[in-house]
Amino acid sequence: MAKEMLRQGGRSARIQEAVHRSVRDLLATTDRSEMTVPMIAEKSGVTPSTIYRRWGDLSDLLADVALARMRPIADPDDTGAMASDLEAFVVDYAEEMSSSVGRQMISDVLNSSVEASAFQCCQFTQQHLQTLRDRALARGEAAFDIDRIMDRVIAPIMYHILFRDRDVAPDYCRGLVAECLSDNG
Amino acid sequence: MAKEMLRQGGRSARIQEAVHRSVRDLLATTDRSEMTVPMIAEKSGVTPSTIYRRWGDLSDLLADVALARMRPIADPDDTGAMASDLEAFVVDYAEEMSSSVGRQMISDVLNSSVEASAFQCCQFTQQHLQTLRDRALARGEAAFDIDRIMDRVIAPIMYHILFRDRDVAPDYCRGLVAECLSDNG
DNA sequence: TCCCTTAACGCAAATTATTAGCGTTAGGGA
DNA sequence: TCCCTAACGCTAATAATTTGCGTTAAGGGA
């Protein structure tokens, strides 16, 4: 979306920043169903037509903001061993994603008409897993298969968050990790 | 949504049927992003305000229609054995859900502001699994754990459909089932 | 069967969101 | 520094949504 802009600096960037900030602020206080483009525009000090032209519609704007928030900034904690690294990461992931803002971000990303958004979102997760995997290999530990973790650990957590059919409590997450690592796939 | 109506018969039911039909027809020919309430209203022979008042907004209407389409009508095929029953069901499930209309239905249900919609949707899946489980028990076969199938088979399939990070081809689905049944959980 | 109550509807006016045209501003390369 | 034009602001259409109010028709009770 805002990635392949022809002009990246100056005014354009300032507006993007202002709009993103406004969206984040509004998401914290306002229910998504009562958020409107004119509302965001006013808070950002731009005209609505600017937002419509640049992002298309509210869904795409929200997806853009959500994806920006999900983009990795720091590596997962290094706990000293692969199993505990993985456990810590997954528990954190579940907690963040199942929170109110986390849910909102996921839903925004999945609703984007930009087909690549959802894919990129799961790439971020895989990137983190790759970091943990590299770290394990560097330690001389047995590596794990990323796709396997996605299927056995991440997918069920995401499913329960989306369909609201159970809590993704730390114990449950740890169980998923343990079971996945113990089964010799 | 349309479940706890105070009046269930006559005109009200006719309108619900007409609106549902219109939505289904439109979904087949029109892209969701260009579907509007007035459009549906005209096709159904009702005024837009009727739809707004009854369903709230387009998202909730679409979720209502999607949920109605997902509601089980027939039991899964009986193939004679638990493993093949499960395999057949899962492959079918993946094919239906990953289709264009399937994706649309999932997304509509997940977007509903009615919190229970998503939960009910996954209840439908569990109902089918329960049928297969009962059938297995009646045959004297070893039963499977429904939650386990949800986590190990359904969840990954759903994840890949939603995040578009891989195809849920029959072979992949069969692999998930096989691996889940072979690991003694 | 025939009222009576009121949920659900239709219509239309008011409000609000979205789109489109056109002139203006300000990146960024020559 | 100048020029080109992407990106913006403003405003006038257009379209969607909300709201008030009168009307229709379920569904229960006499």
Of B110, B151, B179, the CB nearest to A162: B110
Q: Are residues A172 and A100 in the same domain?
A: yes
Q: Are residues B51 and B84 in the same domain?
A: no
Contact status, residue A15 vs residue A50, Cβ threshold 8 Å: yes
Q: Are residues A102 and A175 in the same domain?
A: yes
**CATH number of the structural domain spanning residue B95:** 1.10.357.10
Q: Are residues B52 and B95 in the same domain?
A: no
B33 touches strand D (CB under 7 A): no
- A1 occurs within a structural domain: no
Residues A38-60: b if buried by 16+ CB within 10 A, e if exposed: ebbbeebebeeeebeebbbebbb
Q: Which nucleotides of D are covered by protein (CB under 7 A)?
A: 6-11, 15-20, 25-27
- A61 occurs within a structural domain: no
- B67 occurs within a structural domain: no
**CB-CB under 8 Å, A156 with B151:** yes
- A66 occurs within a structural domain: no
Q: Are residues A116 and A145 in the same domain?
A: yes
DSSP B165: S
pLDDT digits (tens, 9 = 90+) for A55-66: 999 999 999 999
Is the Cβ of B165 closer than 8 Å to some Cβ of chain A? yes
Nearest CA in chain B to A178: B185
- B61 occurs within a structural domain: no
- CA closest to C1' of C11 belongs to B47
B155 contacts: CB under 8 Å, gap ≥ 6 = A155, A156, A158, A159, A160
- A118 occurs within a structural domain: yes
Q: Are residues B48 and B84 in the same domain?
A: no
d(CA B174, CA B119): 25
pLDDT digits (tens, 9 = 90+) for B126-177: 999 999 999 999 999 999 999 999 999 999 999 999 999 999 999 999 999 9
Is the Cβ of B45 closer than 8 Å to some Cβ of chain A? no
d(CA A173, CA A154): 9
- B144 occurs within a structural domain: yes
Per-residue pLDDT of chain A (185 residues; tens, 9 = 90+): 333 455 566 889 999 999 999 999 999 999 999 999 999 999 999 999 999 999 999 999 999 999 999 999 999 999 999 999 999 999 999 999 999 999 999 999 999 999 899 999 999 999 999 999 999 999 999 999 999 999 999 999 999 999 999 999 999 999 999 999 998 65
Domain membership of residue B167 as a residue range: 73-182
User: Which residues does chain A have within 8 Å of residue B34's beta carbon, measured at their own beta carbons?
Assistant: none
Give the number of other CB atoms < 10 A from CB of residue B13: 13
- A125 occurs within a structural domain: yes
**CA angle, B25 as apex, B21 and B29 as ends, to 5°?**
165
Which burial class, exposed, middle or buried, applies to A119 when counting CB atoms under 10 A from its CB (0-12, 13-18, 19+)? middle
Beta-strand ranges (E) seen in chain B are none
